[in-house]
């Protein structure tokens, strides 16, 4: 069974940093582009970033460009989201999901992690 497990969320002051981790198991990590998403109550889940080690692409949302970086450690089956210069509007539950390739056009993700909450205080 395919699993994704997020960690690293928490409470941070505006301007601070957090690094989120997403560990995958039960599937061939190279075959699934992994994305980071976030959702606030009452809003749709938005994709923050999507990365594929196999196809060597890396997408990042305009709202976080220059502040967030996605990376992969294939040896650990882990995708990271480094978040710097955090703002209160980054407050959300952050999820990782796969396969993120066609999320913008279809909204479909094959499987999700359970989410990790991030709160940025003023």
- pLDDT for position 46: 95
Q: What is the three-state SS of 58-86?
A: EEECCCCCCCEEEEEEHHHCEEEEEECCC
Q: What's the pLDDT tens digit per position in 77-116?
A: 999 999 999 999 999 999 999 999 888 888 899 999 999 9
Q: Which has more pLDDT, 5 or 59?
A: 5
- pLDDT for position 30: 83
Under a CB-based contact definition with an 8 Å cutoff, are residues 11 and 88 in contact?
Answer: no
Q: What's the pLDDT tens digit per position in 17-71?
A: 999 999 999 998 888 999 999 999 899 999 999 998 877 778 899 999 999 999 9
The alpha helices in 5-120, defined as continuous H runs, are 103-106
């Amino acid at each position: 069974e395919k699993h994704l497990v997020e960690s690293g969320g928490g409470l941070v002051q505006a301007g601070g940093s957090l690094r989120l981790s997403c560990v995958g198991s039960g599937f061939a990590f190279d075959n699934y582009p992994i994305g980071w998403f976030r959702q606030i109550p009452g809003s749709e889940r938005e994709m923050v970033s999507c990365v594929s080690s196999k196809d060597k692409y890396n997408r990042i949302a305009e709202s976080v460009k220059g502040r967030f970086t996605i990376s992969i450690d294939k040896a650990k089956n882990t995708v990271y989201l480094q978040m710097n210069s955090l703002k209160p509007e980054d407050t959300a539950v952050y999820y990782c999901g796969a396969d993120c390739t066609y999320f913008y056009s279809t909204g479909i993700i094959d499987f999700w992690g359970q989410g990790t909450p991030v709160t940025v205080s003023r």
